[in-house]
Chain A
Amino acid sequence: MGDMMAGLQFENNCEVGVFSKLTNAYCLVAIGGSENFYSAFESELADVIPIVKTSLGGTRIIGRLCAGNKNGLLVPHTTTDQELQHLRNSLPDQVVVQRIEERLSALGNCIACNDHVALAHTDLDKETEEIIADVLGVEVFRQTIAGNILVGSYCALSNRGGIVHPHTSVEDLDELSTLLQVPLVAGTVNRGSEVIGAGMTVNDWTAFCGSDTTATELSVIDSIFKLREAQPSSIVDEMRKSLIDTYV
């Protein structure tokens, strides 16, 4: 059953996308903070995908430091060996965890990806781009969103749709939509915040938003990510979804 959790706070902060990373195959959550945050994720995802508590480079802002999808996870060079090992142990085997040497180490801000296509920061290294294409199995496009180069911060992407920075012009929206092959909408999260990537985290059937998100924003998120009809499934298979009955 597709759902959306709103009203999350990590230590009184509504920026859910900073402290967590959600993909179709796993979920990463920051350590520290109250158990409420963790249990919110647990209640939604416990049986379906593993939820891993971790830190990256000793920090809690894991959502902004790493980028990943069901195929792999890229972590910055600041990640310690223990953390890397912990991740490799906790995540399913088909997920490749790769540490990359990149000057721009906040990979979550620089890369926005779903399972098929990724948007990258324009100044990313050529090698990094190749690694992304390799590890995540995606097609990489260097793009800006509403003139901002931090594509990872200003958009939230899933396989069914995406939200971008509210100041994106209509032409840009069309162009991005064509590149990504998903419907896009310009919107906000957390009561008018433009930093959508940091304000929420999403996969194909669930989304988690901060407590400040208004009802209007929730309805926009609902409609663009098609969460009402989505279901949790260990196999993300577009064709099979259409054959399965939905039940409340």
Chain B
Amino acid sequence: MFKVQQTIGSVLCCKCGVPMPPNAANMCVNCLRSEVDITEGLQKSIQIFYCPECGCYLQPPKTWIKAQWESRDLLSFCIKRLKNLNKVRLKNAEFVWTEPHSKRIKVKLTVQAEVLNGAVLEQSYPVEYTVRDNLCESCSRFQANPDQWVASVQLRQHVSHRRSFFYLEQLILRHDAASRAVRIKQVHQGIDFFFGNKRHADSFVDFLSKVVPIEYRQDKQLVSHDVKSSLYNYKYTYSVKICPICREDLIFLPSKVAIGLGNLGPLVVCTKVSDNITLLDPRTLRCAFLDASQYWRSGFRSALTSRQLVKYSVFYVEPPVGETTVGGQKYALSYVQIARESDTGNLFCVQTHLGHILKTGDQALGYDIYGANVNDDEMEKYRLHGRLPEAILIKKCYDKERERKKGKPRAFTTKKLPMEMDESRGGRGVDPGKMENEYEEFLRDLEENPELRFNISLYKNKDYQESDETASMTDGEGAPTVPIEELLAELELSEEGEGDGEDDMDE
């Protein structure tokens, strides 16, 4: 269809007479602006409260919102605080620079509103926010008494070593479970965690129950009591006990438990502790699982722990008679001839489940049942009947290979939780030298067992050079180490930008 070209003519602004294209109000923009102020009735200055400790802004009545200076969060917070802004349409908002110490925030808002006969006018105007310092409740409570905690979790394991706690520490770091703890304190045979909130403590105990078998009880103590409104202020304490059975422990099962597990040979080795305990009978290669509630029903303790491991030399290994794979771990049953390092004259021929990794001339660590003095009547009865093996081998010993690497740094490092040491208990506190040794053993454990590393973050050691390692690897088998693909690079925030991100290749 043929359409005639329409050229918009120009009229004179009815106020000032300047020619302009016609609009709904027939006034030029300046006259319209002078005529109508759409920002009338809108708030131009307002007070906001800021907590200097935690960097939060108050949204009354009680919420504190964390926001950075001149960030988008702060902008949306500022706009939300303005009343009456729904009468006009907000087109644009931006910060105007103010000196941070001036305690003023200036925001320039551009609004649109309809005036007169439908003409839409756009106007921008500044809003000034006066920032007043006001400590938020949690910060003020913290200031008043920095040791203030509402809930605490007292984690204990009644064994003589701290291996479980090292492992647990790494797990906690990996899953960030203790990020909300106010304080962490190391005590004899345990760790105390303090939280500012009962919910945080609850979730932490939940996390623990998923990774180790625990039993806990919860108690509360009245701190204060508001009679008029019947508000009670409590301090909650969770008493958490980790089961004392650890990896590589030798356990003599009480008869009830053994029968309950299908007549599992009364002498078992604990191979893995997660939220279940895995027990392996080294003679039949049968595995059984006990979960926390099952364990705590009987509450048996280990007969021999890893402290009592003895070095054995392996003289002869027969080919394996049976193989099995349990939980990803391979075991092979075979007969070996071994003798204790300290007493090489005395040869024993025993069954072992390590047939797949032992070879003649190896060293192994195991429990010397022949020479042990165990405080257990039932076990003594078995010994009298001659049904106890002389020794049970637990793992291969890599000490010779480690000699070569002595003094050289490891390929990986681990992070630590910010723990306080318990100095106060005079003598019963932890001995730093002993801790070092135990930690060294823990790291060796990590190197030898890939399944332990599964849930842990290990970081590349910056001081470690790969060339040293490969040079010495030429002769024979080296000690087991953590393959470099499993290590995470630490996040370095430097001037040039971020360092390599995580190259995590977990199995």
Q: Name which of A192, A193, A194 has the most chain B CB atoms within 10 A of its CB.
A: A192
Residues of A within 8 Å of B427, CB to CB, are none
Within the assembled complex, what's the spacing in Å between the Cα atoms of A191 and B22?
13
**Chain A's nearest CB lies how many Å from the CB of B19?**
10
Are A216 and B17 also in contact (CB < 8 A) when A168-B9, A188-B26, A194-B26 are? yes
Min C-beta distance of B24 to chain A, whole Å: 9
**Using an 8 Å CB-CB cutoff, how does the interface string of A182-197 with B read, 1 for contact, 0 for none?**
0000111001111000
B4 within 8 A of A: yes
Q: Which of B117-143 contact A (CB under 8 A)?
A: 117
Is A13 an interface residue when CB atoms closer than 8 A count as contact?
no
Check A216 against B7 for contact (C-beta < 8 Å).
Answer: no
Residue A135 is within 8 A (CB to CB) of chain B in the complex: no
Closest to A214 in B: B14
Segment from A98-106, A169-177, A239-247 that makes contact with B: A169-177
A173 to chain B, nearest CB (A): 6
* Interface range for A: 20 to 34
| Residue of A166, A169, A192, A219 touching B116 (CB-CB under 8 A) | A192
Whether B15 contacts A169 by the Cβ 8 Å rule is no
Q: Which of B15-52 contact A (CB under 8 A)?
A: 15-17, 22, 25-27
* CB <8 Å contact, A166 and B26: yes
Contacts A166-B26, A192-B116: A171 and B14 contacting too (C-beta < 8 A)? no
- A186 with B6: CB separation less than 8 A: no
| A220 touching B5 in the complex, CB below 8 Å, given contacts A167-B22, A192-B27 | no
Q: How far is B115's CA from A192's CA once the two chains are assembled, in angstroms? A: 13
Nearest A residue to B7, CB-CB: A170
A186: chain B residues within 8 A (beta carbon): 9, 11, 22
**Is the beta-carbon distance between B26 and A169 smaller than 8 angstroms?**
no
| Inter-subunit contact B15/A216 (CB<8 Å) | yes
Helix, strand, loop or mixed for chain A's interface? Answer: mixed
User: Digit string of A203-231 for contact with B (CB within 8 Å is 1, else 0)?
Assistant: 00000000000111101100000000000
Say yes or no for B13: interface residue by CB 8 A criterion: yes
Chain A residues in 8 Å Cβ range of B22: 166-167, 186
Q: Does B8 contact A (CB under 8 A)?
A: yes
> Once bound together, how far apart are the Cα atoms of A193 and B15, in whole Å?
12
CA A219 – CA B13 in complex, angstroms? 12
Question: Measured between alpha carbons, how far is A171 from B6 in the docked complex, in Å?
Answer: 6
Using known A-B contacts A171-B6, A192-B26, determine if residue A166 contacts B11 with beta carbons closer than 8 Å.
Answer: yes
Which residues of B are found within 8 Å of A220, using beta-carbon distances?
12
Contacts of A215 in B (CB 8 A): 17
Residues in chain B near residue A193, CB distance under 8 A = 26
Q: Which residue of B lies closest to A187 (CB)?
A: B11
Sample of 15 further A-B pairs with CB below 8 A, known A169-B7, A187-B12, A191-B15: A166-B22, A170-B9, A171-B4, A186-B11, A186-B22, A188-B26, A192-B14, A192-B27, A192-B116, A192-B117, A194-B26, A214-B15, A215-B17, A216-B16, A216-B17
**Distance between A94 CB and nearest chain B CB, rounded to angstroms:** 38
Q: Please indicate the chain B residues that have their CB under 8 angstroms from the CB of A170 in the complex.
A: 7-9
Cβ distance A228 to chain B, nearest Cβ, rounded Å: 17
7 interchain residue pairs of minimum CB distance: A192-B26, A216-B17, A166-B22, A169-B6, A170-B7, A166-B11, A188-B26
In the complex, what distance in Å separates the CA atom of A217 from the CA atom of B116? 18
Please judge, given known A-B contacts A167-B22, A194-B26, whether A188 and B11 are in contact too, CB under 8 Å: yes
15 contacts between A and B (CB under 8 A): A169-B7, A171-B4, A171-B6, A172-B6, A173-B9, A186-B9, A188-B14, A191-B14, A193-B26, A194-B117, A215-B17, A216-B13, A216-B15, A219-B17, A220-B12
Which residues of chain A have C-beta atoms less than 8 A from B13's C-beta? 216
Minimal Cβ-Cβ distance residue in A for B6: A169
Residue numbers in B under 8 Å from A172 (CB-CB): 6
A83 and B223 CA atoms in complex are apart in Å by 95
CB within 8 Å of B: which A102-155 residues? none
Contacts of B6 in A (CB 8 A): 169, 171-172
Give chain B residues whose Cβ lies under 8 Å from the Cβ of A169.
Answer: 6-9
Most buried by A among B17, B22, B117: B22
Closest beta carbon of chain A to B50's beta carbon, Å: 47
Within the assembled complex, what's the spacing in Å between the Cα atoms of A168 and B4?
Answer: 13
Query: In the complex, what residue of chain B is closest to A165 when comparing beta carbons?
Result: B22
- Cβ–Cβ < 8 Å partners of A188 in chain B: 11, 14, 26
A150–B458 Cα distance when bound, in Å, is: 84
- Name which residue of chain B comes closest to A169, CB basis: B6
Q: Which of A173, A216, A219 has the most CB of B within 10 A?
A: A216
